[in-house]
Structure 1
């Protein structure tokens, strides 16, 4: 008789009446322990009674206790049957105990149960989850006339082991077999979900569309699980319109359907649509949200800069009793940081229990983008004192903090310490942060030397950081070199041509600047329009440069006109260098006056009561003239202005900016 756990190198099992700390930690409260089930056994010699116990324990995730029950069943001489093995195999697979699984497999073989499709499918699943794909495939191949469950187990096994092409190959093979046999017995909703999961891993639109067409012909598209996975598959391909269509045509939707759509929009930068979908979900009475969904909504709120919406989600999190979830806590930290609310971010951070490396990195990164470099480094020191080792993401946040605060020496130290103290090879993002740090500090030659010494191939982000620094410090020669590299790496990006044109214009080289603008037109490139947004009473208002479409634009322009003399009295002189066109001075000053961030701030001034903090989100980097104006406005009006541009936050108060004019 084969005894599981019987080898000498494994510990002897305790009595089922003894509780095990190792297993109880992973068990669900409703599952109960083996001792509880043992006391309730009506017939300890009945396989049916033991099967119920093993099944109940495995179903509730109490896998160690399920295997212990299987062992005691054998010790008492009870013979397992075809219903016993699948749950035992499931427990082995979920715990990764392939050596135990092999023993149970041998026992099933000795009892003549391996040809059984129920047992075979569970073995394929077990070996797959233990990353033993060779054994799983061998079992699959040796199974006579495998049914849909066995086929699906093997397809899922390939997906689980990150072999999506093999999974789809097997799916197509099952389709061919079903066609030959003129039946669809090997294809069901579960196998369809597995195939679409493989599509999600591959992120290829053509393949996803092909599988979708097959499922339509088979009539499987009406299944909720299939529809939910299809949404995710199209989203991973970057086709959010088709993801939305897949959602819209579903006859029946559950909370997962809504959550999948919201996550798809949030993770692909379409934050407004993610927030709208979340609101629509609640308006339809679907209130079941997971930690993953709420984190996605908070992420979308962070990207859109909708502080009030984020606060509402925070209140919802508290009402749902999910405030202690580390993932939601980290998302709250990120949201408040990206809305410029460092005080609330720190509170969320301090209230997050069991903080992980992501929580610490989010807080460090939050201080970084808000220009609080010293505070970021203090949090970094606290993290190291707590015993957590920084990872690659943490160091990106640390180096970013050094860059925004001009902490050159600290940045150099931690860039070197990554490899020397922590054994982490700096990646492209770390090099980009260092180039940005050195470039901002005017150390352009050192930044260029760092790029040329890289073992990795520098990407567009790294050369772009150097090009931006060349514009700030008016280095034409190095700017031309950087731009040439960028034209090769990303020839369709209009921004690099604009930057070089600005460098030429700043140096008074109007012929070269004009040549760049001609080049932009000849290549058919389009510069993304600059815009600024402001949230007011739950609604986001968008302003373009020179905007005259907003319903309140006339009132905004009157305010800015009234503000002009006050700015002049405060010493304002238009920075016409921010307008890189060969036009007369008066026209340059006129262009400066209608920049989108000025319009958004003006709107905030006339629509909010005195003392209200005005928060503006800008998609591009704030220009020097707007930066000067907003500093003066904060002092003239006695208001705090918070502007998030594409690079960082600027907190304007009492005529000063948190960046110290270093951005």
Structure 2
């Protein structure tokens, strides 16, 4: 028994007479196949391939072992190719073969190939197999065929927790939050006990009922004993943070027995959405680094985003230096975060340098720098970079056009801006959003084309918003246009009768035009409706102690 386990098994089978030492019959080939493949099943794909090549007669068990190993270890294309070769050799697949090749098709997003496998499954009579059906549901969901996934799921004669988790997770991943919650509720009604994957899936994007929905699911995690699991805690923190309840997110984080990087990243990322909490998040990050906890790229991107929002240039530069210590080769996401941070902090030369040093650039990379040029008063550079982007073959998206249109607006380039707006719709087929229309209105108004801007607003295919009328009103003040200004003011007050800012803007335009009685009337109307001007606020980034940042580098 000191030999290799499989060698001992072979000797035992020989001694019992189950496998003859010589001239074994074809009926025993399957057993030899199992022994040969299982001998190296725990190894990598290469070792399983060697075992497969040693099998004298390659039956469905040998093929399934090879395809399964390829699929599980990420060699999805090889798994699909071996399945095709297996069919050409006339070997019929079983449920395990189909499950493995469907997993490979899902990973490769090969919907057409997956549908061909689906046809083979129907032909061979494995459609009612639970393992195969779960793999088919996963394929259709991850390839965007939600209706087909629902059809397969509905036809399942029996369902297990894996199939339910596949449906809930697939719906959540595709953005169907309400559907994910409904499936989760139906799973509970049918008597299934959710596990950590069930809760993580429904919390991912399934809390469509806001903070109350998150708290209900949190209660269920306690009921089913999953509240202490790291995966569930991370999902709860992320859900609470996205619902705006950072206090609850912190309570969950501090209740964890062991601090987890994923949960910590979810908490810090939650602060990204609340600018008033940015300094707290940066202090938390500094404390993490001082304690020697592991820091990954996702966490660094979140902190850099906070630095960009609060214009914490010194902190952002310290993090950039820390990046060089952790990893000298930045990935594209981190480089994009650095470009965005430097641009928003006004250090456009540093942003330009990071951009030029990037090994790979995507549409976000170009968009960040184009937007940065526009916001820092470099309108010509923004337009030049946009043209360079087009020449490089990168297709701009709606955010890219928003950045270059804003640059044209700030620079008073009305004709170029209108050409870009037309190109966005006609050449790239991008439908303008409210922000794009606002840019064009601002572009025309800043250039003194007040009447053209008013006509553009009136002829838009979408309903003008209050911010659009407010932008037009500001231009009327600048260019002393009382006629359009009065029309725009009526629209603004009609749309937001309870917003004090609307009355103040209207009163200011009347004052600038010397219409003091109408200005006083707008102020009086505001007071009669019980409205008052909201006080403004600004965020100052203060370092109370000199040692706050010194531990980062």
Q: Scaled by the length of structure 2, what TM-score is found?
A: 0.80
Judged with a 3 Å threshold, the aligned counterparts in structure 2 of structure 1 residues 512 and 38 are, in CA distance, closer, same or farther, namely same
Establish whether residue 39 from structure 1 lines up as the match of residue 50 from structure 2.
Answer: yes
CA separation of 1:198 and 1:360: change in aligned 2, threshold 3 A: closer
Query: For residues 462 and 288 of structure 2, what CA distance do their matches in structure 1 show?
Result: 45
CA shift digits 1:99-149 (9 cap, x unpaired): 433454455566665554333322321232233444433433343442211
Name the structure where helix makes up a greater proportion of residues. Answer: 2
Once the two structures are superposed, what CA deviation does each residue of 1:145-180 show, in whole Å capped at 9, x if it has no partner? 4221122122223334443333222211121222xx
How far 1:222 moved relative to its partner? 2.1
Alignment match, 1:220: 226
Seen in structure 2, the aligned counterparts of structure 1 residues 265 and 203 have a Cα distance that, compared at 3 Å, is farther
TM superposition shift of 1:368: 0.6
Cα distance in structure 1, aligned partners of 2:301 and 2:271: 13
Distance 1:476 1:61 in 2: 68
Match of 2:103 in 1: 90
Counterparts of 2:525 and 2:156, CA distance in 1: 65
Aligned match for 2:202, one of 195, 198, 218: 195
Alignment deviations for residues 566-598 of structure 1 (CA, whole Å, 9 cap, x no partner): xxxxxxxxxxxxxxxxxxxxxxxxxxxxxxxxx
Report the secondary structure of 1:38's partner residue. Answer: helix
- C-alpha displacement of 1:303: 0.7
Pick aligned residue for 1:281 from 285, 288, 291: 288
| Counterpart for residue 307 of structure 2 | 301
Question: Which residue in 2 is equivalent to 1:361?
Answer: 367
**Partner residue of 2:444?**
438
Distance 2:281 2:196 in 1: 27
What residue is the counterpart of 2:317 in the other structure?
311
SS of residue paired to 1:449: helix
**1:384/1:254 Cα in 2 relative to 1: closer, same or farther (>3 Å)?**
same
- 5 Å matches for 1:612-651? none
Q: 1:379 to 1:127 in 2, by over 3 A?
A: closer
Question: Retained in 2: the 8 A contact 1:221–1:227?
Answer: yes
Question: Does the 8 A contact of 1:156 with 1:167 survive in 2?
Answer: yes
The 8 Å contact of residues 373 and 402 in structure 1, kept in 2 or not, is answered as yes
Q: Where does residue 230 of structure 1 map in the other structure?
A: 236
| Residue equivalent to 1:523 | 530
> Is the Cα contact below 8 Å between 1:192 and 1:215 reproduced in 2?
yes
Equivalent of 2:485, from 479, 486, 492?
A: 479
- 1:252 deviation in Å? 4.0
Note closer, same or farther for the CA distance 1:512–1:407 as it changes in structure 2 (3 Å cut): same
- Residue 272, structure 1, aligned to residue 279, structure 2: yes
Higher mean C-alpha deviation, range 191-200 or range 474-483: 474-483
Contact 2:477 2:513 in 1 (8 A): no
CA gap of 1:140–1:330, structure 2 versus 1, over 3 A, is same
Name 2:179's counterpart in structure 1.
166
Q: Which runs of 5+ in 2 are unaligned?
A: 1-42, 547-553
Q: 1:130 to 1:440 in 2, by over 3 A?
A: closer
**Counterpart for residue 337 of structure 2:** 331
* 1:268 Cα deviation after fit: 4.3
Going from structure 1 to structure 2, the CA distance change for 1:475 and 1:241 (only over 3 Å counts) comes to farther
Q: Residue 173 of structure 2 contacts residue 205 of structure 2 at CA under 8 Å; is this kept in 1?
A: no
1:310, CA displacement in angstroms? 0.7
> TM-score, normalised to structure 1's length?
0.68
Superposition deviation, residue 360 in structure 1:
1.4
Whether contact under 8 Å (2:168, 2:198) holds in the other structure is yes
Count of aligned pairs: 502
More strand by share: 1
2:465 counterpart (455, 459, 478): 459
Give the counterpart of 1:502 among 470, 488, 508. Answer: 508
Give the conservation status (yes or no) of the 8 Å contact 1:203–1:237: no
Indicate the SS of the match to 1:533: coil
In 1: Cα distance, 2:292 partner to 2:60 partner: 45
* Partners of 1:203 and 1:236 within 8 A in 2: no
Conserved? CA contact 1:302–1:334, under 8 Å: yes
1:219-273 CA-to-partner distances (Å, cap 9, x unmatched) read 3222222222223333333444433444343444421111111222213444334
Tell me which residue corresponds to 2:10. Answer: none
Residue of 323, 327, 330 corresponding to 1:321: 327
Between 1:203-212 and 1:304-313, the stretch displaced more is: 203-212
Q: Which moved more, 1:281-290 or 1:79-88?
A: 79-88
What is the deviation of 1:306?
0.4
Decide whether the 8 Å contact of 1:193 with 1:229 is kept in 2.
yes
Tell me if the contact between 1:403 and 1:437 (Cα under 8 Å) persists in the aligned partners: yes
State whether residues 473 and 488 of structure 2, in contact with CA within 8 Å, keep that contact through their aligned partners in structure 1.
yes
Taking structure 1 as reference, are residues 405 and 100 closer, same or farther at Cα in structure 2, changes over 3 Å only?
closer
Q: Deviations over 1:393-424 (max 9, x none)?
A: 22211111111122233223323333344443
Residues 75/422 of structure 1: CA separation in 2 closer, same or farther (3 Å cut):
closer
Q: Report whether the alignment pairs 1:139 with 2:152.
A: yes
Equivalent pair of 1:399/1:414 in contact (CA under 8 Å): yes
Specify the SS of the correspondent of 1:447: helix
Instruction: Report if the CA contact (8 A) 2:310-2:539 is conserved.
Output: no
2:393 corresponds, among 361, 368, 387, to 387
Distance 2:233 2:450 in 1: 53
Q: Distance in 1 between matches of 2:520 and 2:348?
A: 43
Which residue number in structure 2 is paired with residue 371 of structure 1?
377
Residue 370 of structure 1 deviates from its aligned partner by 0.7
1:153 maps to what in 2?
Answer: 166
For 2:100 and 2:322, locate their aligned partners in 1 and report how far apart those are by CA, in whole Å: 38
Task: Tell me by how many angstroms 1:304 deviates.
Answer: 0.4
Cα pair 1:261 1:277 within 8 Å, conserved:
no
Q: Check if 1:345 corresponds to 2:351.
A: yes
Query: Of residues 408, 411, 417 in structure 1, which corresponds to 2:417?
Result: 411
* Aligned match for 2:137, one of 124, 130, 140: 124
- CA-atom RMSD in angstroms: 3.3
Is 1:243 equivalent to 2:254 in the alignment? no
